[in-house]
Each structure stands twice: as C-alpha cells, then as structure tokens.
Structure 1
Amino acid sequence: MHKLEIHPKAKGLIFDLDGTLADTMPVHFVAYQNILGKYGVDYSAKMFLELAGVPAVETIVKINEVYGSSLNPEEVGHEKEAEYERMMHEMKPIDAVVDLVKQYHGKLPIAVGTGGYTRLAWKTLEIIGLKDYIEILVSANDVQNPKPHPETFLRCAKQMGIAPKDCQVFEDGDPGMQAARTAGMMATLVTDYYDVFKA
C-alpha cells in the first residue's frame, strides 16, 4: 500500500475527523442503529456510508425522506450523539493519517474541518492523542451549511490564512471530497491508504 503524502504545492493542511483521523465510523454506525432501531428504522450500512460526514440532525432529516419516518431531527439527532458519546472510548486512531499531522505539526498550518459537534470533536482528538497538535477546529457548530457545501473547509483556510487553492484536504467521505473540490482545494481520499470500515 502506498504512503499518504503531502502535495508539493500544499501550504496548509485540513483534515476531516471521523473516518479520517479517528476510526469512529463503526462506532457512529452502531450508535445510529441502536437509536433508530428503537423507532423501527432499519438503518443500512450503504445509506450510512453515503451520508458520511453529514451532521446528525441533517442525517435524521435525510432518513425521514428515505424511510418515510417522521422522527424529530433535533431530538433523535441528540439522542444519537449521546449514544455515540457513551461508546466513543472504543474508537481507534487511523495511524497513517495521524502520523501525518504529527510529522507536519509546526511546519505547515493544520486545521480540522468536521461535520461533528465542537465538544465531541475535541473529545475525539483527546482520545486519539491529537488534542495538543490542533489549534484550528471548524465544526457543525461553526457553519450554516455543512458538507457537501464548502463552508467548513473555506472557514478552515481563512483561519489558517491560506488561499483555498493552496490547501490540501484529507477526507474519507463523498460529501467531504465534494466540499473540498467545490472549495477549489486539493482533495485526498484517505481510504485509499487504509482498510476502510466495510459493513
């Protein structure tokens, strides 16, 4: 398997969090299944992977559309996040990507752009040992338009003081890759570099 590398033109690095730096996807999936199962929704792995990186509340809106359910997005979204938090100690770091952050820390500006919520994002960074390596974090709490809209990554670039075209984004999901490309950034799919969660 080839090594994950920084683009020679990159002046700033932006990392997604769930599924990119932290192997949280299996934990998120089980949390969704546990909560949605209570409401009689059999949430598929395929749908879960299609919505990778989309915040919980927006995910529930989408589930209502697809499954014809009438769940309260705010309530069920927060229920799912609480269930996830209860289980999040089970996550593991994705070493190939985490090593890159440690290698370039202090050499290039680094930001995290996540569809997760601020408090849990910092908790995730703490669990995987990156809390002291990240200064800029843009989460679902900071944007009006989550991925696949480019706002998350554009805010990262602005806070780093780097032009979007000079930023390299590391992502594991389609919505995030789309957001990076729309922002005019270099987009790298990290799942080419490790064995991705298969459900």
Structure 2
Amino acid sequence: MREDIKKAILQAPKAVHKDGKLKLVIFDCDGVLVESEHVVGEVLGKEARKYGWNITGPEARELFSGVQLVDIEKEIEKHVTTPLPLHWRQHAHNQIVEAMYNDIHPMDGVETILQTLKDFDIPYRIGSNSSQEEMVIKFKTSKLTHWFEDHRTHSGCDVERPKPFPDLYLYAAEQEKVNPEDCIVVEDSDTGLKAAYDAGMVCILLRDLKKPAPDYRGLIRVETLNEASEFIKEVVQSQKK
C-alpha cells in the first residue's frame, strides 16, 4: 500500500481502520461505473455554443462533471446575453438520453470491484446526480444492468439537495441502515467528493494522480477501479484479523 494512502487512512473515518467495519460502498455513476461524461460534455457543449458561449466539448465535460442541469443552466446563462428557453432543461435532458443509447461503455475494472464486494458480502449502492431514467439507459447500454437492483440506485432528483450537498449519500446510508462513518464512497468529481466529505464518509477519488484534487483530510486517491478494489480487499482483510 502506498505511503500516502497509509497516511490518509489515519485521518479518514473508521470504515477503513483495522478496528472499524466497512458496511457499505456507494458508487457515483458517471466516470466511475460507466464512461459517459464525454457524451454529456458534447451535448452540453453544443447546447452552450448554440446560445453564444464558445465552449468546447472537453471544456464542458470538465466544467459540468457531476453537476445537475438546473445548475448547468445557470452557468450557461452567465455566459450568454439572453436567458435560455423556458423548457431548456427538459430539452437538454432529452438530448443527453438520446445520445446515451449509442456511446456508453463500462469503466475498466468495474466488474472486478463489484465481484470483490460480492465475494466479501459487502453491500453496495449508487448515488448519482443523474436521473433514474439516465442510469437505466447507461447500465443497459454498457451491459451492466444485472449488477444493480433498482431499489439500490439513488438519484439526486430523489433528494431535496443533490451533490455537492451530502444528502444523497446520507440517504443511501440511511436506506442501508448504516452509519456514514462505516461507508466508502467512490467518486471522480470535486462535486461528489465534497458531498462524501460533508457526509462524514471515506472517499476514494478515482483520478489521474498527476491531476489536482481538493485537499481533504483522509482522501484516498487511486487511478483505476482495480486499485480501488485492491484497497478495499486490504481494508476488509485487515478488519477480519
């Protein structure tokens, strides 16, 4: 185990401590379970350009990752001279859903980490700002549907405040009847990272180590889901001793 991860464990909630107990893993969806953010970035970049904001697809992907449409709408309106049409959010949602039928893929290592959790009998849930409709399509297109049960998939649309607020992750823990400090969240965005941190949960951040990240105490950084899987294995095995 890397030295930076060992140090992070000392500052993290007890879910990853030897004398703790990992009881739930909560996954973000986009950029963690499925590679879909390029699709969303292209659609939203095209929409923004249509109304006068000269932003590229990759820039839109970076800026809007993990952000709900209501906040994306506000951000676009900051860069254009006239308000977006009354039903723009529904239009954008429809465009995104249509695009998702064609170009969504599972993230490398996703089935490995899910099988690891099953092998260790650790429950898992999903907490995503995406709508339930979008997640159903993403999992169907990426052939991951058999891994997820509907009642264990939670959307930011289902709580009063989506990420970056902690409500969604706290709701998932509540549904599992576990304490937040006994949970691990797997995230890739700063928005989701803040939600996990404010929920009092351990967060595994899935991101290239060369890229910057917020300086949260106890943050576990990995580059791949396979690394996350190995980390969870080590945690669980240490807690059984």
Band of TM-score, shorter chain: 0.7 to 0.9
Matched, 1:188 2:204: yes
Tell me which of 157, 169, 173 is aligned to 1:141.
157
Q: Is the 8 A contact 2:129 2:163 kept in 1?
A: yes
Tell me which of 41, 55, 60 is aligned to 1:43.
55
Match of 1:59, SS state, is helix
CA RMSD of aligned residues (A): 2.4
Which contiguous aligned blocks of 4+ residues in structure 1 show a shift greater than 6 angstroms? Answer: none
User: What's 1:20 paired with?
Assistant: 32
Deviation at 1:103, TM superposition (A): 2.5
Percent of aligned pairs sharing the same letter = 26
Q: Is the 8 A contact 1:105 1:133 kept in 2?
A: no
User: What's 1:118 paired with?
Assistant: 132
Match of 1:176, SS state, is helix
Gaps of 5+ in 2: 3-14, 208-221, 225-241
User: What's 2:99 paired with?
Assistant: 87
Which entry has the higher C-alpha Rg, 1 or 2?
Answer: 2
Match of 2:126, SS state, is strand
Distance in 1 separating the partners of 2:122 and 2:140: 21
Distance in 2 separating the partners of 1:70 and 1:159: 42
Paired residue total: 190
Give the TM-score taking structure 1 as reference length. Answer: 0.85
Q: Is the 8 A contact 2:156 2:163 kept in 1?
A: no
User: What's 1:167 paired with?
Assistant: 183
User: What's 1:197 paired with?
Assistant: none
Matched, 1:128 2:142: yes
Q: Is the 8 A contact 1:57 1:76 kept in 2?
A: no
Match of 1:32, SS state, is helix
Amino acid at match of 2:139: L
